[in-house]
Chains A and B, each alone.
Chain A
């Protein structure tokens, strides 16, 4: 059994490792135990600001701190970041203040809390904001590394993490993880699967299923949705000629949308999108949700076959 861990724990660990920088401050909205900022709070209470259950105030308090030279990391559930969307838009993105917002428990993978907690639109809405960098890492190590790079970014950011465990893939490969650069996890020439978050490991499984049928797939971890690694996508089009995207997010506006926008204005290849089919989820275990929403390796494999069939 491979090592398993939750990306939210990578975020929590990163905050601890960033604490040597006295300008790093943490803001919570009564979900620090869940988003994992609690470790920072326990060790550095003076630099942790409890905002109670008030996400709108949290985002703008963070903006005020950023305007005064601090590097604020604010977190809550992905779904509740959406409540403060206009604060993120007008108070953070517009003045280009380097507030780092983390939404944990994203996607249907969140599971039994049900549809009210399963953010399937966070990546789409934050991607529409000028200045904002949008990330959705796939494993503990990449979440840790990407979070640690944020103070140097000097731009506002949104990162989605997940509640439940996913395979740890990047131990010993930390240097490969850079904001804005997709990572090729597996090389093939028949089809390229571009995935983010919890569906990266599902895409690797799909590539195994395809290999059993003699189909060689490339798998890319596109942990940064914005800015999108367009050079990498262009090279995938040249090498594979067919693209699949995979995300635990609405097919509208997320990774699939971002890749589609790139393809139609650059080198083109047929695209199949695996994602939530513009509907809400329900209570269920993570693996059950990926099955019922049509997101697991089986569906990714089928999408790959469809994309290949569409090659001209």
Chain B
């Protein structure tokens, strides 16, 4: 799909509206990390992912692994926009029997290739997908989105070491560096010091971008696609809750729903007219 920068921005805006609506309807969920990741996932799906929404299990599809699986509203919004699921399905978020389980789940939702929910797991799973593609002599790529708080899980670094050791160049990671985790700012919970240097030291190609500037995002995705022998990580500097003023940089909205008044304000800010 070829979309202009302004079309991508509109794609992401519509997804932001759906994210806030999902969390508002469910009165539960994780808006902050969904809003921080959404420009990245929107651009990735709309311009890079080789997928067939009408044939979600197509064998040679690119894989997208949302390791920070609590930020599921963001992924569901994109899957609906891409046509994997209906917009109606977004009403099933956190609802019994719904495709849109609290955390993205491959058993429940078309287009989801990893059952997430526990941090530190997606990178290893993506590594397995990438090794499988190599064994198959397939050109399919595996994109994994991880969070920054998630880097505190030791298993992330097991996977980082293994991916570089095995020179799994078809593994492409996006780090949503939104600087906030469940309880507080990352800096308060567990300082991570020089994150790009850590990945370089583990043998990865590293690039940093502004994760909300769509031109920057596109150049970051170019970087991910261009690398070959080494695994690559795009460190996207983002704002938790981006696009909704009172959620931005506010640890309270890691995992909390807006009330009626806040919902109305969010819709106003996102340019959405509600009947």
Residues of chain A at the chain B interface (Cβ within 8 Å): 25, 46-47, 49-52, 54, 56-57, 59-70, 72, 86-87, 90-91, 94-96
Contacts and interface: CB of A to CB of B under 8 A. Distances in A.
A61 B125 contact: yes
A191 B131 CA distance: 52
Contacts of A62: 128
B264 interface: no
Contacts of A63: 124-125, 128
What are the 7 A-B residue pairs with the smallest beta carbon separation, nearest first? A64-B128, A68-B132, A60-B124, A54-B158, A57-B158, A61-B128, A56-B155
A64 B106 contact: no
Interface of B: 59, 105-107, 113-115, 117-118, 120-121, 124-133, 135-136, 154-155, 158-159, 161-162, 165-166
B221 to A, nearest CB: 22
Contacts of B106: 67, 95
B135 A47 contact: yes
Contacts of B129: 64-65, 67-68
Given A49-B166, A54-B158, A90 B118 contact: yes
A65 B162 contact: no
B170 to A, nearest CB: 12
B121 A60 contact: yes
A65 B128 contact: yes
Contacts of B162: 51-52, 54, 57, 61
Contacts of B117: 90
Given A52-B158, A64-B126, A95 B131 contact: no
27 contacts: A52-B158, A52-B161, A52-B165, A56-B154, A56-B155, A57-B155, A57-B158, A57-B159, A57-B162, A60-B121, A60-B124, A60-B155, A60-B159, A61-B124, A61-B125, A61-B159, A64-B125, A64-B129, A65-B131, A66-B128, A67-B128, A68-B129, A68-B133, A68-B136, A72-B128, A87-B121, A94-B107
A87 B127 CA distance: 14
A298 to B, nearest CB: 44
Counting chain B CB atoms within 10 Å of each CB, the highest count among A59, A68, A69, A95 belongs to A68
A68 B135 CA distance: 10
B64 to A, nearest CB: 13
Contacts of B124: 56-57, 59-61, 63-64, 87, 91
A65 B118 contact: no
B203 to A, nearest CB: 13
Nearest to A63: B125
B118 A70 contact: no
A12 to B, nearest CB: 22
Contacts of A66: 128
Given A68-B133, A70-B135, A96-B107, A61 B155 contact: no
Nearest to B116: A90
Pick from B59, B121, B161 the residue with the most CB of A within 10 Å. B121
Given A25-B135, A90-B118, A94-B115, A69 B125 contact: no
Contacts of A57: 124, 127, 155, 158-159, 162
**Which among B136, B155, B165, B166 has the highest number of chain A CB atoms within 10 Å?**
B155
Given A52-B158, A61-B162, A95-B106, A69 B128 contact: no
B132 A70 contact: yes
A60 to B, nearest CB: 3
Given A51-B162, A65-B131, 15 more contacts: A25-B135, A46-B135, A50-B165, A52-B158, A60-B155, A60-B159, A63-B124, A63-B128, A66-B128, A67-B114, A68-B133, A70-B132, A87-B155, A91-B121, A96-B107
Contacts of A69: 59, 132, 136
A70 B128 CA distance: 10
A54 B161 contact: yes
Contact of A64 (B105, B127, B155, B165): B127
A51 B128 CA distance: 11
Contacts of B130: 64
Contacts of B128: 60-68, 72
Nearest to B155: A56
Contact of A91 (B107, B125, B133, B135): B125
Contacts of A61: 124-125, 127-128, 131, 159, 162
B164 to A, nearest CB: 11
Nearest to B128: A64
A57 B114 CA distance: 15
A41 to B, nearest CB: 14
A94 B113 CA distance: 13
A64 B126 CA distance: 6
Contacts of A68: 128-129, 132-133, 136
A198 to B, nearest CB: 32
Of A47, A49, A86, most B-chain CB atoms within 10 Å: A49
Contacts of A56: 120, 124, 154-155, 158
A54 B166 CA distance: 14
B159 to A, nearest CB: 5
A95 B154 CA distance: 23
Contacts of B59: 69
A59 B154 CA distance: 14
